[in-house]
């Protein structure tokens, strides 16, 4: 009886163990199977694990991209080229989580019916651990909007969305760096422009503002300089044309008249762009950073076709929207001298009306030249204005004189002469005359 009881217990235990085994297996199968409405996953490779991508096209050159020692993507085939890092990152993002639209067949004996016997596009991905994943993409589905696809070593046939194929179906021209100059604008330290028979050199000063060094030290309009840098940085080669178009560009450059030369210097060195313009207003460019000659757009051509005065700062004051802490304006025998104390403007121990003082500051901030002059300024000054800003680190003084009906201005210790509109000077004088002592708030009558 005792033996029989042990035997029954063993049978029951075996049944229970088998039940647990099949339950676990069923749960694993459910976990591996896509949830209802969820697309079967084809490829899942973390972006930081992708080391190499090879794109093979029927009848075309293979494109091979590989990460270098510094983690940057490079093109090694069909020829070594710099790569558009953002374009490759977009591909790795697709490969990080590539889902199919639906499962077509678990297994087929005829790959050709799906265009997968000799697929038009194959993408091989090699990971850091040396393992590879090969995705083959075949014909378009009859209903359009999708393509047949399969993984190497997997007998199943899937469909993928058209946009998924588009994100992977890239040529070397799609993926190469198309910039004519590859400098880092954040690390740009010098900019040189030769245009309109003038050599202009820009550099940053201690306040990180652009200044003109050549042909002589002058204040630069930072907005104009930054706009020029943006246009140069955005200049890209047009690779959509045929070989015949490329030959025409080379011939056009050779015949066109020189328009401008620009040099940019960053931490990596100096690059140069030469631009020419033909009689039909076509622009051509040749870069030291990439081989070839390319036709470029009017925006860049016009942006380089500028002279010295186009980049000079016409504003008399640089304090911009920094809050001044001290303002002095001497108009003939009148003197306005105010200093900030907390949120109040004080003069001779008296509080002045803030809005009145602000009106003077606004007029000084907006004071701009109508043009630059070689001469015209002559003492005595009819108006002197001094503004202290940037927590006392910046002091600017402007002197204005009058000759006939014209007004001319100079910044202290600078040779440049600015011609002013008389109405701007009168506006400052009127604003100064309008500064009044602040009035105490009116006491409300008690009821």
Interatomic CA distance for residues 249 and 273, integer angstroms: 15
Q: Where are the domains of the chain?
A: 41-175, 185-311, 326-433
The count of residues in the chain is 447
Residue 50 CB burial class (10 angstroms; 0-12, 13-18, ≥19): buried
Interatomic CA distance for residues 39 and 103, integer angstroms: 9
247 DSSP β-pair partners: none
What is the separation of C-alpha 83 from the centre of its chain, rounded to a whole number of angstroms?
A: 16
* Closest among 366, 360, 384 to 433, alpha carbons compared: 360
User: Is residue 140 a contact partner of residue 146, using CB atoms and an 8 Å limit?
Assistant: yes
Interatomic CA distance for residues 243 and 284, integer angstroms: 16
Fold annotation for 41-175: Immunoglobulin-like (2.60.40)
What is the separation of C-alpha 103 from the centre of its chain, rounded to a whole number of angstroms?
A: 41
Question: In the CATH scheme, what architecture does the domain 326-433 have?
Answer: Sandwich (2.60)
Domains 41-175 and 326-433 share a fold: yes
Interatomic CA distance for residues 172 and 161, integer angstroms: 23
**pLDDT value, residue 229:** 96
* Closest among 224, 218, 177 to 201, alpha carbons compared: 218
* Closest among 261, 60, 69, 326 to 172, alpha carbons compared: 60
**pLDDT value, residue 8:** 53
**pLDDT value, residue 26:** 42
How confident is the prediction along the chain (447 residues), in pLDDT tens digits per residue? 444 554 454 544 555 554 544 444 344 334 344 444 456 788 999 999 999 999 999 888 899 999 998 899 999 999 999 999 999 999 999 999 999 999 999 999 899 999 999 999 999 999 999 999 999 999 999 987 899 999 999 999 999 999 999 999 999 999 999 999 999 999 999 999 999 999 999 999 888 889 999 999 999 999 999 999 999 999 998 887 788 888 999 999 999 999 999 999 999 999 999 999 999 999 999 999 998 999 998 999 999 999 999 999 999 999 988 789 999 999 877 899 999 999 999 999 999 999 999 999 999 999 999 999 999 999 899 999 999 999 898 999 999 999 999 999 999 999 999 999 999 999 999 999 999 999 887 766 665
**pLDDT value, residue 60:** 82
pTM, full prediction: 0.75
Output the DSSP codes for 83-143: B-HHHHHHHHHHHHTEE-SEEEES--S-GGGGT-SS-SEEEEEEETTS-EEEEEEEEEPTT
Interatomic CA distance for residues 62 and 120, integer angstroms: 12
Output the DSSP codes for 148-193: EEEETT---EEEEEHHHHHHH---HHHHB--BS----GGG--EEEE
In the sheet with 269-277, reading across from the earlier edge strand, the strands are: 218-219, 210-214, 198-204, 190-195, 257-266, 269-277, 283-287, 293-296
């Amino acid at each position: 009886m005792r033996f029989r009881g042990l035997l029954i217990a063993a049978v029951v235990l075996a049944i229970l163990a088998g039940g647990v085994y099949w339950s676990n297996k069923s749960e694993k199968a459910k976990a591996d199977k896509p949830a209802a409405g969820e697309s079967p996953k084809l490829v899942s490779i973390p972006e930081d694990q992708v080391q190499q991508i090879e794109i093979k096209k029927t009848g075309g050159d293979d494109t091979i991209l590989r990460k270098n020692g510094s983690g940057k993507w490079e093109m090694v085939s069909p020829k070594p080229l710099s790569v558009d890092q953002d374009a490759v990152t977009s591909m790795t993002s697709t490969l990080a989580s590539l889902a199919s639209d639906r499962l077509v067949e678990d297994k087929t004996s005829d790959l050709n019916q799906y265009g997968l016997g000799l697929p038009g596009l194959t993408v091989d991905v090699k990971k850091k651990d040396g393992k590879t994943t090969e995705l083959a993409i075949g014909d378009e589905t009859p209903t359009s909007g999708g393509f047949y696809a399969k993984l190497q070593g997997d007998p199943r046939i899937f469909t993928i969305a058209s946009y998924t194929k588009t994100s992977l179906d890239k040529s070397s021209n799609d993926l190469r760096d198309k910039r004519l100059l590859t400098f880092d604008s954040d690390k740009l330290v010098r900019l040189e422009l030769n245009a309109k028979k003038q050599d202009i050199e820009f550099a940053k000063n201690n306040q990180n503002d652009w200044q003109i060094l050549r042909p002589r030290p002058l204040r630069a309009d930072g907005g104009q300089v930054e706009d020029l840098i943006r246009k140069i940085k955005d200049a890209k080669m047009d690779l959509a044309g045929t070989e015949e178009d490329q030959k025409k560009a080379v011939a056009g450059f050779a015949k066109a008249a020189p328009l401008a030369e620009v040099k940019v210097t960053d931490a990596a060195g100096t690059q140069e762009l030469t631009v020419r313009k033909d009689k039909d207003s076509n622009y051509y460019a040749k870069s030291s950073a990439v081989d070839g000659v390319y036709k470029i757009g009017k925006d860049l051509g016009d942006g380089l076709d500028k002279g010295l005065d186009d980049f000079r700062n016409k504003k008399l004051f640089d304090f911009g929207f920094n809050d001044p802490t001290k303002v002095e304006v001497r108009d003939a025998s009148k003197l306005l001298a105010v200093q900030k104390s907390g949120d109040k403007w004080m003069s001779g121990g008296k509080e002045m009306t803030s809005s009145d003082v602000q009106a003077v500051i606004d007029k000084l901030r907006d004071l701009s030249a109508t043009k630059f002059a070689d001469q015209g300024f002559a003492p005595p000054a009819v108006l002197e204005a001094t503004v202290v800003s940037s927590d006392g680190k910046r002091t600017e003084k402007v002197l204005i004189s009058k000759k006939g009906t014209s007004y001319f201005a100079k910044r202290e210790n600078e040779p440049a002469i600015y011609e002013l509109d008389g109405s701007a000077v009168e506006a400052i004088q009127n604003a100064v005359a309008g500064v009044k002592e602040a009035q105490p708030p009116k006491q409300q009558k008690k009821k």
